[in-house]
Amino acid sequence: MKQVKGKVLAMMALVLFSAAFTLGSNAIASDVIKLGFIADVSGIGAPFYKSQKAGLDMFIEEINAKGGILGKKLELVVRDSQLKPDVGANQARELILSEKCEFLIGPTSSAVALAVTKVSKEFKKIIFFHTSNAEALTTTAFQPYMFQVVPNTGIEGRGMAVVLSKKPYKKYSLIGPDYAYGHDQLNSFKSEMAKRRPDVQILDTVWVKLGESNFSTFIPTLMAKKPEAINAAFWGGQLSAFIKQAKPYGVFKETPVSSLFDLDMLRATGLDMPEGLTGYARAPFYAIDTPQMKEFIKKYYDKNKEWPADWAIMAYDGMIALTEAIKKANSTESEKVVDVLGGLKFNSLRGERFIRAEDHMANVGIYAGVTTKSPDYKEFLIMKDVQPVPAEEVWLPVEEIKKLQSEQK
């Protein structure tokens, strides 16, 4: 009998203790703004995640050192969505409901982003996308609680068509990952190219499963129709694997390949990266000449002992825009912050930018250039002759945005 009593007492103590503990943590919660980061930590997006996290961490440290925002400190909570949309959506719910996050930060994969944006809409919590960039997020899947500080697939696909339409090639083969990102990207490329260069022929489009890294069966197919140039919509680890494996198949001897040459991919490919390929980046630190970027690069290098990749820069820019909106709204309530998002101006590392009211897309363009070895960076290639393609030149006009948004289910 005594024993049972002892057990009951112990149980009660435990319950009381845990209740006190939760109360305690709730009390603390009001002094911080929690940011829930649905991240693609593992798999082909892993290097991107490291850079994104480093950019976010740096911003949060800096702003907390200055006393936070509206007197509250920022705190980051990270979950790994493993490039899986259902996992990402569940984690977004968990971050809102259990972790009490007030704002969300998007993942790397567009497929995950399309699932997560629905959760953001459902719970009316603001999310920003800094890496995942399906154009659909701003059109058919648009919802006002999101904004995008990364050039979307439309801006990128059409932007590359603008750049490559000036080249002499007439026969292209396309290859890309078989999901929202790859399809959006290559479709935008095709339609813009058809407008600018009706003489250009698209011989073939090869689709590869997202995450597949053995290209042995795909590369011979890609080359079988003898294209003059290849546009590849891969990114990150998958692109790096593609380039490394394409080399011994003799692809680069005759056929230039264009794609997203971001810093992390260039670092991962190292000196296996061929010279003279035309490609683009989203935010190349070595080619953006603004005072705030110079300061950022220095601080970032001192802290991380490496150069900031595009992903670090865009995640940082997203935080600039978000905190700017919170300040302008003078509130952390998403209902009030969302009211100031449309037309919001913010001073990004890439220069002055604004968020377009109709689709919450920041006017961020791409930076096109040609790969080259550089004496400043011994272990990887960068791009030379970098020319920005401004968003205003290639983003969808407002009428089209409105038309697509009205088709939303």
Partner 1 sequence: MTWQLFVFMMINGLSQGMLLFIIASGLSLVFGVLRVINFAHGSIYMIGAFLAYSLSTILSGQSLIGFLILLMVVPPVIAILGLALEVTLFRRVYREEHLLQLLLTYALVLILDDLVRVIWGGEPRSVARPELLAGSVDIFGMALPSYNVFILVVGPMIAIGLWLLLYRTRTGNIIRAAVSFPDTLGALGVNVSWVMTSTFMLGCWLAGFGGVLTAGLSNIDLGIGMQTIIECFAVVVIGGLGSVGGALLGSLIIGTGLTFFQLPFGRWALVFPYALMALVLIIRPWGFFGKPER
Binds partner 1 (CB under 8 A): choice among 33, 35, 38, 41: 41
Binder of partner 1 out of 71, 168, 198, 248 (CB under 8 A): 248
Q: Closest distance between partner 1 and the C-beta of residue 213, in Å?
A: 4
245 or 347, CB closer to partner 1? 245
* Interhelix angle 110-123/85-97, nearest 10 degrees: 30
Contacting residue, 29, 32, 46, 162, with partner 1 by CB under 8 A: 46
Taking phi first (over 0 means left), then psi (-120 to 50 degrees means alpha), and beta for anything else, what does residue 290 get? beta
* Strand 103-105 versus strand 146-148 pairing type: unpaired
Alpha helices (runs of H) in 30-124, residue ranges in sequence order: 46-65, 85-97, 110-123
Among 93, 244, 299, 328, binds partner 1 (CB under 8 A): 244
- Quick check: 354 binds partner 1 (CB under 8 A)? no
Q: How far is the CB of 178 from partner 1 (least distance, A)?
A: 6
Position 43 contacts partner 1 (CB under 8 A): yes
Instruction: Rule CB under 8 A: say whether 343 interacts with partner 1.
Output: no
Find residue 202's DSSP bridge partners.
172
CB of 195 closer than 8 Å to CB of 262: no
Structure-block tokens of residue 276: 């003279």
Amino acid (1-letter code) at residue 119? V
Which residue, 365, 259, 267, is CA-closest to 307?
Answer: 267
Instruction: Tell the smallest beta-carbon distance from residue 177 to partner 1 (Å).
Output: 11
253 belongs to the binding site for partner 1 (CB under 8 A): yes
Does the protein bind partner 1 through residue 206 (CB under 8 A)?
yes
The span from the CA of 275 to the CA of 273, in Å, is 7
Minimum distance between the CB of residue 153 and partner 1, rounded to whole angstroms? Answer: 19
Structure tokens at 266: 């260039």
What is the size of the binding site for partner 1 (CB under 8 A)?
A: 34
Q: Choose the stretch contacting partner 1; rule: CB under 8 A; options: 116-124, 207-215, 276-284, 303-311.
A: 207-215
Q: Is 350 exposed, middle or buried (0-12, 13-18, 19+ CB in 10 A)?
A: buried
Q: Which two tokens stand for residue 409?
A: 């289910």
Residue 177 in contact with partner 1, rule: CB under 8 A: no
Q: Residue 332, interface with partner 1 (CB under 8 A)? A: no
Of the pair 22, 216, the CB lying nearest partner 1 is at 216
| By CB under 8 A, residue 168 contacts partner 1 | no
Q: Which stretch binds partner 1 (CB under 8 A): 55-63, 219-227, 292-300, 331-339?
A: 219-227
- The values of phi and psi at residue 103, to 5°, are -135, 155
Q: Where in 124-264 does DSSP place strands (E)?
A: 126-129, 146-148, 171-177, 201-208, 229-232, 257-258
**CB 173, CB 256: distance < 8 Å:** no
* Shortest reach from residue 160's CB to partner 1, in Å: 22
Question: Tokens 């264009």, residue?
Answer: 258
Query: Which residue carries 């490329």 as its tokens?
Result: 189
Is residue 174 close enough to count as binding partner 1 by CB under 8 A?
Answer: no
Does the footprint of partner 1 cover residue 304 (CB under 8 A)? no
Q: Pick the binder of partner 1 from 31, 62, 178, 400 (CB under 8 A).
A: 178
Q: Is 203 in the site for partner 1 (CB under 8 A)?
A: no
Largest CA distance in the chain: 92
DSSP string, 208-272: E-TT----TTTHHHHHHT--SEEEE---HHHHHHHHHHHGGGTHHHH--EE-B--HHHHHHHGGG
CB closer to partner 1 out of 68 and 211: 211
Two tokens at 350? 């890439």
Q: How far is the CB of 84 from partner 1 (least distance, A)?
A: 11
Tell me which of 214, 305, 376, 409 binds partner 1, using CB under 8 A: 214
* Contact positions with partner 1 (CB under 8 A) in 50-109: 80
Residue type, 249: Y
Positions touching partner 1 (CB under 8 A) are 41-44, 46-47, 80, 178, 205-207, 209, 211-218, 220-221, 223-224, 237-238, 240-241, 244-245, 248-250, 253
